Amino acid sequence: MKKIVVENLKYRYPGTSELALDDISFEIEEGEFISIIGRNNAGKSTLCQALVGLVPHFFKGAYGGQVKIDGIEVGNSELHEIVAKVGYVFQDPYTQITGSKLSVEEEVAFGLENRGVPREEMIDRIYHTLKLLGIFEHKDKNPYELSGGQMQRLAIASIIALNPEVIVLDEPTSQLDPQGSEEVFQAIQNLSQQGMTVVLVEHKMEKIAQYSDRVLLIDKGKLIDFDTPAKIFSREDLLNYGVHPPVYTQICQQLGKHKDGVYPVTFDEAYELLVKSYV
């Protein structure tokens, strides 16, 4: 089933002359794990904001084309209707803390209270997501006392607790150490396997290759390619778009080792191919 349908999406920020999004069209199936890659300023965050309706409801400006989530057209709906379906995790965890709650558990409760979720269910969901993201032991702390990484997990937990059908994450692991990012990626993959549709902006290509079903490459507001990680990272012109493929892919490219023109993108694939050829 098609979960997200984007048709000829164009958008220009107020007071600018260049299009931030230029005629973008793609479709995402329910339960897919999609990553968006591209250089800084390519339009990744703007595209994410268009999926959750902040473009055009929060950022005004010239808007054209259509974004449909589950058949609901984002441009013509109220923001609160869209955010009931789509969760959005911002880049900066600090500004996502409401500032009105005194403990981590109350902070996660904020969105649930707004939605009118009954108290018993609320407590179940809060404890479940806090455990899922490994910050349950901090539940009574003031949110501002958390470290950057813990705050980032809290920001993700606050959205996951809302049980959205689609979750959009804009660099959710920028402040996490390798171990922490791995845990967050696994938590997201779990949700994706339970049927949640995931759209992720990331710069960690190894992780993207490992977890994504498909990768969306954009540059200067235009959609360049939308395909499997293997196909995208095997493109010879990838560097022109400011993207370095995963190191495993780079090694195999140097050695000229590929399988039917497609280079391996994960550790396991590369290992298997190299062992086959050299041992």
- Residue numbers of the site for other proteins (CB under 8 A)? 52, 54, 58, 79-80, 83-84, 87-88, 90, 92, 94-96, 98-102, 105-106, 109-119, 122-123, 126, 142, 144-145, 158-159, 162
Yes or no: say if 76 and 13 are a contact pair by the CB < 8 Å rule.
no
Nearer to other proteins, 43 or 246 (CB): 43
Q: CB of residue 106 vs other proteins: minimum separation in angstroms?
A: 6
CB-nearer residue toward other proteins: 130 or 208: 130
Q: Which is nearer to other proteins, 115 or 244 (CB)?
A: 115
CB 36 within 8 A of CB 47: yes
CA distance 24 to 28: 13
Nearer CB in complex with other proteins: 23/61: 61
Min separation Cβ 33 and other proteins, Å: 21
Whole-number minimum distance, CB 148 to other proteins, in Å?
Answer: 14
CB-nearer residue toward other proteins: 170 or 269:
170
CB of 97 to other proteins, least distance (A): 8
CB of 95 to other proteins, least distance (A): 4
Q: How far is the CB of 265 from other proteins (least distance, A)?
A: 32
Q: Which two tokens stand for residue 48?
A: 């994410």
Closest CA to 207 of 146, 122, 267: 267
Q: What is the SS3 string spanning 28-40? A: EECCCEEEEECCC
Determine the Cα–Cα distance for residues 246 and 266; give it in Å rounded to an integer: 8
Rounded to whole angstroms, what are the CA distances from 38 to 47, 90, 129, 172, 216?
Answer: 12, 17, 30, 16, 9
Q: Per DSSP, which regions of 53-183 are E strands?
A: 62-69, 72-73, 86-89, 166-170
Whichever of 87 and 229 has its CB closer to other proteins, that residue is 87
